[in-house]
Amino acid sequence: MLTLTCPYCGVTAEETELTPGGQAHLTRFGPGSSDAEFEGYLFARTNPKGVHFERWRHAYGCGKWFHAARCTATLEVFGTYPAQAVAPPDDLIAHIKARRPGWEGWT
Ligand SMILES: [Zn+2]
């Protein structure tokens, strides 16, 4: 079972206590954007086998959204961090690179 630690309240919660929110760090496009940009924002998602950055909500806890980095193949969790972060923390990136030497980045 997937377990994630909420970066706000510190509780390590099982997957059933959380709500998935899809891919993290999407660039949002709204009024004034092109049709292609808006379509990409609505529908285009990565689906990697390996390291993935996702949004999760601690639905049956503090209720806050946060980001998690995990491996989609093994369910190894590399870390969680607040949803307000525009990019993963440097120490988390270093941790992932140490665990997955061939990994090329989070973008
Ligand atoms: Zn929480």
3-state SS record for 27-96: CCCCCCCCHHHHHHHHHCCCCCCCEEEEEEECCCCCCCEEEEEEECCCCCEEEEEECCCCCCCHHHHHHH
Q: How much distance in Å is there from the Cα of 95 to the middle of ligand 1? A: 23
Share of the chain above pLDDT 70, in %: 98
Domains and their CATH numbers in the chain: 3-99 (3.30.2270.10)
Q: How much distance in Å is there from the Cα of 43 to the middle of ligand 1? A: 28
pTM: 0.90
Q: How much distance in Å is there from the Cα of 32 to the middle of ligand 1? A: 35
**Most confident region among 36-45, 57-66, 97-106 by mean pLDDT:** 57-66
Q: What is the mean pLDDT of residues 47-57?
A: 95
Share of the chain above pLDDT 90, in %: 87
Specify the pLDDT at position 107.
62
Whether the pLDDT of residue 51 is over 80: the answer is yes
